[in-house]
Amino acid sequence: MPCTREDLEQREREFLAPFAQWSADSHGRLHDEAPPEWRTQYQRDRDRVIHSRAFRRLEYKTQVFLNGTGDHLRTRLTHTIEVAAIARNIARALRLNEDLAETIALAHDLGHSPFGHKGEEALHRLMRGHGGFDHNRQSVRIVELLEQKYPDFPGLNLSWEVREGLTKHTSHFQIPGFTPGFLHRSPSLEAQVANVADEIAYSSHDIDDGLDSGLLSESALGRAIPVWRQASRHVVREHGRLPDECRRYFVIRCLIDGQVKDVVTTTENRLARLRIQSTQAVREHPRPLVSHSPERKLQNRTLRRYLYKNLYYNPRVHQPNLQAVRLLEELFDHFLKHPERMGTRAKKRLKHDGLHRSVCDYLAGMTDRYAMLEHQRSLKPKL
């Protein structure tokens, strides 16, 4: 007999911890739908995210290096897939709902602008006085309104728990369908796992891209970053001398494994010490329960400062991003003056959302390469 949704929900009740978010206990969706037949609610959400246009666009959006700079450098899509894999591993170890943690991870960057965080900062500045711009809020906007795939409702109509996870639990704005009684001090443990997995993925893999690009060196990392030095020594002890690429891969693997183990152990001990035994207790707790140990947090801050100084603000990374931001600013001004030149969907939202928000949505949805092509087409003089 086929495995039904009811069978999958029963498996969750038998295996997951009492503080996990069971799919059968979801607070539901903004628009009523018949439940899925062969999937849980969160498995349906995951599939909707993967099949969305916004998810596909992540392939051509910057992570650190401007998209197209190198074949093996990460894009926003590869970063997202790596975050989802780490989130599943942590959730499984803690007996949380893997499907929910994975879905939040897969959707967490849907709202990211082109040109990475510099693009996000530029849009926020351009939208000053008009609601600003934040990629977490934009992710929610995409899944609630901007994706158009279904005949009976706008957006993807994701479950309450996924949408809550996408807000990063910011309290300064509300999401349609969120009943105030549901909102407490902290989001689900699965949402917290996705957030920590994001941090683990970008810190470890940004090192990899920095080394691959030649902007970072293993010797300099070993002198400045204790966790890199420890991981390198561990690899030498376990495997001896390895070819450069293989050695680097294993050191970064050790960094990720070490962070995952630290999060799982720290979180497990904290949940036991605080006697957390329900999702309600999770939500009422005043601070996140899923986190690194204090020692690891300090090590991560040291690593983060090093990456900002030696990678993110390296001229080879910083200058192209600044040029891309100027391009984005010029496009914003162009479409404010000529909204009729925007795409069909963006023009349809002008009456409902106003000029500035419609232009912002249009630009935020662009990939790096499309923004550059649109700038060339619209603003470069014809010879």
Q: Which domains can be identified in the chain, with CATH numbers?
A: 38-170+179-379 (1.10.3210.10)
The pairs formed by 262-271 with CB atoms below 8 angstroms and a separation of 24 or more are 262/292, 262/293, 262/296, 263/90, 263/196, 263/200, 263/290, 263/291, 263/292, 264/90, 264/93, 264/94, 265/293, 266/291, 266/292, 266/293, 266/296, 267/94, 267/189, 267/291, 268/94, 271/19, 271/94
Contacts with 102 (C-beta within 8 Å, 6 or more apart), sequence order:
46, 84, 87, 88, 91
DSSP codes of every residue in 325-360: HHHHHHHHHHHHH-GGGS-HHHHHTHHHH-HHHHHH
pTM: 0.92
Q: Quick one: CA dihedral 202, 204, 207, 211, positive or negative?
A: negative
Distance of CA 347 to the CA centre of its chain: 28
Residue 66 has pLDDT above 70, yes or no: no
**pLDDT given for residue 246 in this prediction:** 87
**pLDDT given for residue 244 in this prediction:** 80
281 phi and psi angles, rounded to 5 deg:
-65, -35
**pLDDT given for residue 173 in this prediction:** 40
Nearest by Cα to 96 from 17, 9, 8: 17
Cα gap 135→167, rounded to integer Å: 9
Residue 324 has pLDDT above 50, yes or no: yes
**pLDDT given for residue 383 in this prediction:** 40
**Average confidence (pLDDT) over 84-102:** 98
**Average confidence (pLDDT) over 56-65:** 85
| Position with higher pLDDT, 314 vs 128 | 128
| Weakest mean pLDDT among 108-117, 230-239, 285-294 | 230-239
Averaged pLDDT of the chain = 90
**Average confidence (pLDDT) over 98-120:** 95
> Residue 159 burial (CB < 10 Å; 0-12/13-18/19+)?
buried
**pLDDT given for residue 247 in this prediction:** 87
**pLDDT given for residue 241 in this prediction:** 85
CA distances 25 to 22, 125, 209, Å, are: 5, 40, 41
**Unique residue bearing structure tokens 């530029």:** 122
Q: How confident is the model at residue 320 (pLDDT cuts 50, 70, 90)?
A: confident
Instruction: Give Dmax over CA atoms of the chain in angstroms.
Output: 71
Which letter does DSSP use for residue 23 in this model? G
Most confident of 222-231, 233-242, 353-362: 353-362
DSSP codes of every residue in 83-99: HHHHHHHHHHHTT--HH
| Weakest mean pLDDT among 132-136, 316-320, 328-332 | 316-320
| Weakest mean pLDDT among 68-72, 82-86, 121-125, 370-374 | 68-72
What does the pLDDT look like over 274-296, one tens digit per residue?
999 999 999 999 999 999 999 99
**pLDDT given for residue 116 in this prediction:** 86
Residue 346 has pLDDT above 60, yes or no: yes
**Average confidence (pLDDT) over 288-314:** 94
**Average confidence (pLDDT) over 294-317:** 92
Residues of the chain with pLDDT > 90, as a percent, come to 74
Residue 301 has pLDDT above 80, yes or no: yes
Nearest by Cα to 290 from 305, 303, 274: 274
**pLDDT given for residue 199 in this prediction:** 94
3-state DSSP call for residue 183?
A: coil
